[in-house]
Amino acid sequence: MIDLTTSYMGLDLKNPLVVSASPLGQDLNAMVRAEEAGAAAIVLHSLFEEQIHLESEDLDRFLDNGAESFPEALSYFPDMADYNLGPEGYLEHIREAKMVLGIPLIASLNGASLGGWVRFAKEIEGAGADALELNVYFLPTDPDVTGAAVEDRYVEIVRAVRESIRLPLAVKIGPFFSAPAAFARRLAEAGADALVLFNRFYQPDFDLTLLEVRPNLRLSTPDELLLRLHWVAILYGKVHADLAVTGGVHTGRDVLKAMMAGARVAMTTSALLHYGVGRLKAFLDEMIFWMEENEYESIRQMQGSMSMRSVGDPAAFERANYMKVLRSYSVRGRS
């Protein structure tokens, strides 16, 4: 019988399929259906740093103070009071979810500074979450802010939260760092039990008629998986933290690729939003079929088997592969 079990941040999971942070995490019924379809863990939708500030009236006071002189500036800030659940509602949601779910529940905090994270991380722990994922979403648009300063901010946040809670701690990061391997090691040394690769930065679009900046949300595509596989395969065995792939996971084969690269879990949301949470069963069926056909007995057997330290040609992950790819494409002549 195929053994699909894995472990993530010390949590024993029945398989590597994890539902990543999304609107699905707001719906108890959807989470129950996801567990029934095969999800091994669920990451709740994110609580935003702005919502924590709003509870203490810091953001509210800031907006009110500028309303008379710069009223148009208010349009840049969402109405956080109406955005999903506030801090207290989020804690109650954790308690309710733990009553109906039998799989680990991972809370999610999204922000860019220390803010109220440390205090609220403790409250999340007290509410019964099994782990916490920090989604540090910060775009350094100030030309005076250096890359080193950005990394220092991440490390400061991770270290402060780590010192405040005992929960397993994951950090979700984006791909835009000059030295990802060194940065990943710093995060692990600061206390991250897992690294989630990679965050998706949502880019706004321009409305040429109204001359407005408009939100532009697109679900992930399978093509996005390649970047995740590349870096998980490079980092595997080089950092003392579990690795998770998120973004571009749309099939059972994608999950297997993530495992072979060195991930402990593969997170998916876009496929579930598109096809429904029942899609998880198709993932598992495809994984089991492939493993049986290729004589794999367990997920653990394949983890890291295609990582940089395991393949016969590690240069394929580095510069040599750049030249091979360019040479592999030939321009067709005009008809």
Distances in Å between the Cα of 253 and the Cα atoms of 90, 226, 259, 291 are 34, 13, 10, 10
Reported as a single tens digit per residue, the pLDDT across 203-215 is: 788 889 989 988 7
41: three-class secondary structure by DSSP:
strand
Residue 75 tokens, joined: 């349009």
Q: In this predicted structure, what is the pLDDT of residue 110? A: 87
**Does residue 276 sit within a domain?**
yes
Domain-located, residue 323: no
What pLDDT, on a 0 to 100 scale, did the predictor assign at position 217?
73
> Is-contact 95 68, C-beta < 8 A?
no
Distance (Å, whole) CA 141 – CA 10: 37
CB 196 within 8 Å of CB 133: yes
How much is the pLDDT for 327? Answer: 73
The answer to whether 100 and 127 are in contact (CB under 8 A) is no
In the numeric block, the tokens 């007995």 are attached to: 297
Share above pLDDT 70 across residues of the chain, in percent, rounded to a whole number: 85
Q: Mean of the pLDDT values across residues 166-188?
A: 95
Helix, strand, or coil (residue 138): coil
**What range does the domain containing 83 cover?**
6-307
Q: Which residue has the tokens 């920090």?
A: 134
Greater confidence (132 vs 23) lies with 132
Residue 248, pLDDT score: 96
pLDDT of residue 335 exceeding 80: no
Q: How many residues does the structure list for the chain?
A: 335
Contacts of 155 (CB under 8 A, 6+ apart): 186, 187, 190
Question: Does residue 83 fall inside a structural domain?
Answer: yes
**Nearest Cα to Cα of residue 159 among 116, 191, 194:** 191
> How many folded domains does the chain comprise?
1
User: Is 93 part of any domain?
Assistant: yes
Say if 320 falls within a structural domain.
Answer: no
129: Cβ contacts below 8 Å, ≥ 6 apart: 44, 94, 98, 105, 106, 107, 167
Token output for 137: 């979403």
Q: Quick check: is 330 in a domain?
A: no
The residue type found at 306 is: M
> What is the rounded average pLDDT for all residues in the chain?
87
Question: How sure is the predictor about 136, in pLDDT bands with cuts at 50, 70 and 90?
Answer: confident
Q: Residue 259 CB: number of other CB atoms within 10 A?
A: 27
18/333: higher pLDDT: 18
pLDDT in tens, 250-264: 999 999 999 999 999
What is the structure's pLDDT at 281? 98
pLDDT of residue 75: 39
Residue (of 55, 44, 174) closest to 98 by Cα position: 44
Q: 56 in a domain, yes or no?
A: yes
How do residues 56-98 score in pLDDT, each as one tens digit?
554 444 444 444 433 333 333 344 444 456 788 999 999 999 9
CB 234 within 8 A of CB 308: yes
What CATH number is attached to the domain comprising 242?
3.20.20.70
Residue 322 lies in a domain: no
Looking at residue 80, the DSSP 8-state letter turns out to be G
